[in-house]
Structure 1
Amino acid sequence: MSWKWEYAFGAEEAARTAPADFLARVESTADELVRAAEAVHVHGRAHRGFDPRGGDVIVPGGMFTYQVVVRSERVYVVQITYLGF
Protein backbone atom coordinates (compact mmCIF):
# COMPACT_ATOMS: atom_id res chain seq x y z
CA MET A 1 0.00 0.00 0.00
CA SER A 2 1.26 3.48 -0.66
CA TRP A 3 0.23 6.83 0.70
CA LYS A 4 -2.77 8.50 -0.94
CA TRP A 5 -5.41 11.06 -0.11
CA GLU A 6 -9.16 10.85 -0.54
CA TYR A 7 -12.34 12.65 0.34
CA ALA A 8 -14.19 11.37 3.39
CA PHE A 9 -17.66 11.85 4.81
CA GLY A 10 -19.51 14.83 3.33
CA ALA A 11 -16.46 16.33 1.65
CA GLU A 12 -16.99 14.16 -1.40
CA GLU A 13 -20.51 15.50 -1.78
CA ALA A 14 -19.34 19.09 -1.32
CA ALA A 15 -16.63 18.55 -3.93
CA ARG A 16 -19.30 17.85 -6.55
CA THR A 17 -20.62 21.40 -6.29
CA ALA A 18 -17.38 23.35 -5.79
CA PRO A 19 -15.71 25.13 -8.72
CA ALA A 20 -13.00 23.20 -10.57
CA ASP A 21 -10.22 25.74 -9.90
CA PHE A 22 -10.90 25.63 -6.15
CA LEU A 23 -10.88 21.83 -6.17
CA ALA A 24 -7.60 21.84 -8.10
CA ARG A 25 -6.04 23.90 -5.30
CA VAL A 26 -7.45 21.58 -2.63
CA GLU A 27 -6.18 18.50 -4.46
CA SER A 28 -2.74 20.01 -5.06
CA THR A 29 -2.39 20.86 -1.38
CA ALA A 30 -3.64 17.39 -0.39
CA ASP A 31 -0.90 15.92 -2.60
CA GLU A 32 1.65 17.97 -0.65
CA LEU A 33 0.22 16.70 2.65
CA VAL A 34 0.56 13.13 1.40
CA ARG A 35 4.22 13.66 0.52
CA ALA A 36 4.87 15.18 3.95
CA ALA A 37 3.07 12.37 5.79
CA GLU A 38 4.94 9.75 3.79
CA ALA A 39 8.28 11.38 4.67
CA VAL A 40 7.48 11.61 8.38
CA HIS A 41 5.86 8.19 8.73
CA VAL A 42 8.15 5.99 6.64
CA HIS A 43 6.82 2.76 8.17
CA GLY A 44 3.15 3.77 8.13
CA ARG A 45 1.54 0.34 8.29
CA ALA A 46 3.74 -0.66 11.24
CA HIS A 47 2.79 2.51 13.16
CA ARG A 48 1.72 2.02 16.76
CA GLY A 49 0.04 4.65 18.82
CA PHE A 50 -2.08 7.64 18.06
CA ASP A 51 -2.51 9.32 14.72
CA PRO A 52 -1.26 12.90 14.44
CA ARG A 53 -3.68 15.76 14.69
CA GLY A 54 -5.31 16.88 11.50
CA GLY A 55 -5.75 20.48 10.68
CA ASP A 56 -7.27 23.24 8.60
CA VAL A 57 -5.62 24.52 5.45
CA ILE A 58 -6.51 27.81 3.80
CA VAL A 59 -6.36 27.81 0.01
CA PRO A 60 -7.43 30.57 -2.38
CA GLY A 61 -11.22 30.48 -2.45
CA GLY A 62 -11.78 28.75 0.87
CA MET A 63 -10.36 26.09 3.14
CA PHE A 64 -10.39 22.39 3.95
CA THR A 65 -9.95 20.18 6.98
CA TYR A 66 -7.86 17.02 6.85
CA GLN A 67 -6.96 14.04 9.03
CA VAL A 68 -3.96 11.72 8.70
CA VAL A 69 -4.50 8.01 9.41
CA VAL A 70 -1.02 6.53 9.51
CA ARG A 71 -1.79 2.80 9.58
CA SER A 72 -4.03 3.20 6.53
CA GLU A 73 -1.44 5.44 4.87
CA ARG A 74 -4.15 7.95 4.05
CA VAL A 75 -4.76 11.65 4.30
CA TYR A 76 -8.51 12.21 4.44
CA VAL A 77 -10.05 15.49 3.37
CA VAL A 78 -13.00 15.53 5.75
CA GLN A 79 -14.51 18.94 5.01
CA ILE A 80 -14.17 21.55 2.30
CA THR A 81 -15.53 25.06 2.51
CA TYR A 82 -15.76 27.20 -0.61
CA LEU A 83 -16.04 30.89 0.25
CA GLY A 84 -15.65 32.32 -3.22
CA PHE A 85 -12.86 34.80 -2.55
Structure 2
Amino acid sequence: MIWEWEYGPGEEYLVGGADPAFVAHVEERADELVRAAEALYLDGTAYQGDNPKGATAHITGGMFEYLLVVRHNRLYIRQITIY
Protein backbone atom coordinates (compact mmCIF):
# COMPACT_ATOMS: atom_id res chain seq x y z
CA MET A 1 0.00 0.00 0.00
CA ILE A 2 1.30 3.45 -0.89
CA TRP A 3 1.90 6.10 1.74
CA GLU A 4 0.24 9.49 1.25
CA TRP A 5 -0.25 12.69 3.20
CA GLU A 6 -3.27 14.93 3.61
CA TYR A 7 -4.40 17.99 5.50
CA GLY A 8 -6.05 16.77 8.72
CA PRO A 9 -9.06 19.04 9.11
CA GLY A 10 -8.98 20.10 5.45
CA GLU A 11 -6.80 22.05 3.05
CA GLU A 12 -8.90 25.23 3.01
CA TYR A 13 -8.99 25.31 6.81
CA LEU A 14 -5.22 24.99 7.17
CA VAL A 15 -3.80 26.88 4.20
CA GLY A 16 -6.63 29.11 3.03
CA GLY A 17 -5.12 32.49 2.15
CA ALA A 18 -1.51 31.40 2.74
CA ASP A 19 1.22 32.37 0.28
CA PRO A 20 1.41 29.69 -2.45
CA ALA A 21 5.22 29.55 -2.11
CA PHE A 22 4.87 28.75 1.59
CA VAL A 23 2.26 26.08 0.87
CA ALA A 24 4.67 24.57 -1.69
CA HIS A 25 7.33 24.31 1.05
CA VAL A 26 4.84 22.56 3.33
CA GLU A 27 3.89 20.08 0.63
CA GLU A 28 7.51 19.39 -0.38
CA ARG A 29 8.44 18.63 3.24
CA ALA A 30 5.34 16.43 3.63
CA ASP A 31 6.43 14.48 0.54
CA GLU A 32 9.88 13.94 2.10
CA LEU A 33 8.36 12.77 5.38
CA VAL A 34 6.07 10.33 3.57
CA ARG A 35 9.02 8.84 1.67
CA ALA A 36 10.87 8.37 4.97
CA ALA A 37 7.84 6.76 6.63
CA GLU A 38 7.38 4.47 3.65
CA ALA A 39 10.98 3.27 3.99
CA LEU A 40 10.69 2.81 7.77
CA TYR A 41 7.28 1.11 7.82
CA LEU A 42 7.32 -1.14 4.75
CA ASP A 43 3.85 -2.58 5.36
CA GLY A 44 1.94 -0.18 7.56
CA THR A 45 -1.25 -2.22 7.46
CA ALA A 46 0.55 -5.06 9.26
CA TYR A 47 2.19 -2.77 11.82
CA GLN A 48 1.57 -3.91 15.42
CA GLY A 49 3.19 -1.18 17.54
CA ASP A 50 1.96 2.19 18.75
CA ASN A 51 1.88 5.05 16.29
CA PRO A 52 4.75 7.50 16.59
CA LYS A 53 4.03 10.67 18.54
CA GLY A 54 3.15 13.79 16.59
CA ALA A 55 6.05 15.94 15.48
CA THR A 56 6.96 19.37 14.15
CA ALA A 57 8.54 20.03 10.77
CA HIS A 58 10.34 23.37 10.43
CA ILE A 59 10.34 24.90 6.97
CA THR A 60 11.25 28.23 5.41
CA GLY A 61 8.86 30.81 6.80
CA GLY A 62 7.15 28.64 9.39
CA MET A 63 6.44 25.14 10.60
CA PHE A 64 3.75 22.51 10.69
CA GLU A 65 2.56 19.84 13.11
CA TYR A 66 1.93 16.39 11.73
CA LEU A 67 0.88 12.94 12.84
CA LEU A 68 1.77 9.57 11.31
CA VAL A 69 -0.92 6.90 11.41
CA VAL A 70 1.06 3.85 10.37
CA ARG A 71 -1.86 1.43 9.89
CA HIS A 72 -3.48 3.92 7.51
CA ASN A 73 -0.21 4.63 5.65
CA ARG A 74 -0.95 8.32 6.16
CA LEU A 75 0.71 11.47 7.35
CA TYR A 76 -1.82 14.04 8.54
CA ILE A 77 -0.87 17.70 8.62
CA ARG A 78 -2.71 19.01 11.67
CA GLN A 79 -1.59 22.64 12.09
CA ILE A 80 0.42 25.16 10.10
CA THR A 81 2.20 28.18 11.58
CA ILE A 82 3.51 30.98 9.40
CA TYR A 83 6.19 33.25 10.91
Report the TM range for the smaller structure's normalisation: over 0.9
Shift of 1:54: 2.0
User: In 2 relative to 1, CA 55–12 (structure 1 residues): closer, same or farther, beyond 3 Å?
Assistant: farther
Identity %: 48
Aligned length: 83
Is the helix fraction higher in 1 or 2? 2
Q: Is the 8 A contact 1:11 1:80 kept in 2?
A: no
Report the CA distance between 1:41 and its aligned residue.
Answer: 0.2
More displaced 10-residue stretch of structure 1: 2-11 or 36-45: 2-11
TM-score (norm 2): 0.92
In the alignment, is the contact (CA less than 8 A) between 1:11 and 1:78 conserved in 2?
A: no
Q: Distance in 1 between matches of 2:43 and 2:67?
A: 18
Q: Which runs of 5+ in 2 are unaligned?
A: none
* Contact 1:65/1:77 (<8 A) preserved: yes
Within-5 A mapping of 1:47-66:
47-66=47-66
Superposition deviation, residue 14 in structure 1:
2.4
Q: Indicate the residue corresponding to 1:6 in structure 2.
A: 6
Gap regions ≥5 residues in structure 1: none
Q: How does 1:1-85 map to 2 (within 5 A)?
A: 1-9=1-9, 12-83=12-83
Give distance in 1, aligned partners of 2:11 and 2:82.
11
Give the Å deviation of 1:49. 2.2
